[in-house]
Structure 1
Amino acid sequence: MTTTRTRVAIIGGGPAGLLLALILHRAGIESVVLERKSRDYVLSRIRAGVLEQGTTDLLRTVGLGARMDREGLVHDGFDIAWRGEMLHVDLRELTGGKTVTVYGQTEVTHDLYDALDEACVPVIHEVEDVTPQDITGSAPFVTYRTRDGEQRLECDFIAGCDGFHGVCRQAIPAASIETFERVYPFAWLGVLTRTPPIQDELIYANHSRGFALCSLRNPQLSRYYIQCDADDDVANWPDERFFDELQARLPSAVAGNLVRGPSIEKSLAPLRSFVAEPMRYGRMFLAGDAAHIVPPTGAKGLNLAVSDIHYLSRALIAHYLDKDDGLLDAYSETALARVWKAERFSWWFTSMIHRFEEHGAFSQRIQEAEFDYLADSEAAQTSLAENYVGLPF
């Protein structure tokens, strides 16, 4: 077994792990990132692309703003379609100038890789059998296997950024962690197509046939979603059927703008809300999807991972540079306070905009009253807008 040492062992090479490595490097703190998949695989994953104001501000702070500001699409608002009508939510006006930016998670990951390559921060791909060891002791380490054989990475701390199905949360004894979960009775069927978007801003649509979302990645790359059964199959949805269903769920004012084209990616994503707490066990800290999942309705997944990394990097920097562990000790409580607010918003928006067949007539009337209140109340729209652009870190 080959033994190496670093200060922070980061398990998971998605945006959370890569961003933590970059911020720590900027502060002079060494780390090593361990990723189960190949770099090409990581960069091929299609994920959300709506960045909160706080996320874009942080990316600029660490030197990742140039391409995002050049190629990202700043959105001042979005539309909600209901009963054939369109309600425009003016984010900039309602939040005193804040916006969101459409910039794909894949592009953020590209930028992070480029910055880490330039800084010579080690990111080790295609590692197997990753196992956090002695997490509660004073000298934790991680064992893993590469093509070169068994490896041991000694460290001061472990950052578990390895996603919902990763090993880090599973390494915590059941008696030391509590989980909270709601599984929704439907999924999102998503299609990516090289066609102009239906309009410049997002449309969230509620319809008797189910929810639909019209999104985009750039002016020639559209991302569309429709609500479907949780046990449905992508094979049941050839392109023609998908676009027919999408068009049927949109108001006539915009449905005619839909440009159809062959799908270049099609996927089905079940929806769930999930939180594990605390987000620390011994010298291991959870961040991102390893600790929490939100339904994609509010576009909070990547943004919550970034806020976790903001808190965790700040705490690690205080430990190493200021010899102060106060922020490390408060990390879980601080991160979870923001996590639960985002969970609340994502649950509320999901509940308001989707079709729940099993809820009956009373719940349907409540849902309609919710929209009517939102349409008539600037205060309600302001609450929606300030949560959508992201609560402050």
Structure 2
Amino acid sequence: MRFLVEGWLSAPHSYTTVNQFQCLALLERSGLQLFHREQPLAHGWQPIAGQLDPERSRRLAQIPAPDGDPVDGLLRIDSPYRLEPDPIARRSFVFATAEFGKLHHEYWQWMGCAQKTSKWAAAGGDRGAVVLTPSAWSRQGLIHSGAAPDRVVVLPHGVDPQIYHPLATADRANLRRAWDWEGCQVLLNVGGTIPRKGGDLLILALGTVMERSPQLRWVLKANDAVYGRDRGRAAWVNQVRSLLPTDRAQRLLDRTIYLNKFLSYQDMAKLYQAADGYVSPYRAEGFNLPVLEAIGCGLPVICTQGGPTDEFTNPAFTLPIASQLIEKPVQYPDGVSETVWMWEPDCDALVDCLETWLDRPQWQTATRTAGPAWVQSRFTWDHAVDKLLSLVAQQP
């Protein structure tokens, strides 16, 4: 089988992570000839390197460019989306996500179709390519945006168990000792400075819970540095002080470790491996890969109920935050307004979940085996590639 990927291997974006690990899994398949064409970076981004170890990076760098001959399958994984099929491929696939229950106005602007009546058709979406998306929630959003239901397939993400796995007890203790986390209950969150990630709700909830839990620490891994911008700690501190009374705000600031620097996948895994829990009170996601990575490392997770994480979590290691699907009006700089859909977690329910997590140390211990076993049996990149190649093998 000849397979071509057109996408990002160096962009500061989650699509790069998906593409890197899928390509590495594809390289392991016998009888498959893989090609890759790097796509231009969007939005003035600068390329990044160092996410993977040198050997994996070398393997990706050695994937050949396409030779011009026909291929059995083509996968595009970049943005703006190019929905039209390519005649060089027997089957064409496009990776896309709809975090807000639809492709919002800015997506259509990037695709050059914002002024069109039938936007999906204008973008080439009715010409036969299959759209791959990582969750049923995202699939429904793409259908709402004009995609034909029989042309949108859910292809869940995965994790690499060689990177995302629990540490041995002694190794974990040594890591926590080195980071001065002994005797603490450490709660990790990734991306909480982005509004749709629900960081404001987490500030409010932790402001309450920390009053009775002096051992609780919050590790906030911000993503600003990865995307080449820095809203920075100062802006986050201002947000904390605007949301909480003075005493609660200072307590939370004193007990929070704010990280805003680039981390490799291996270093990111160490955060998961050393922490005691992961929390994600998100409002809008296409999948939410950090939740799955945390589960793979043995963490109990607290996350929004109703969204895409419902599709890969399990009560054995998950506390769901009761949430409500809401319509939210949005106004764009060009004057266009529209309604998007978001999950709004209940802040009191988030407080209850945090307190339950703190009060169940035996359950926390049990998740260290239950979560990784669940992930390794269902949600690795090998599972994702199995489904991808089965789709390529089907007749158009």
Using structure 1 for the length normalisation, give the TM-score: 0.31
Which has the higher relative contact order, 1 or 2, with Cα contacts under 8 A spaced 6 or more apart? 1
**Structure (1/2) with the larger strand percentage:** 1
Using structure 2 for the length normalisation, give the TM-score: 0.31
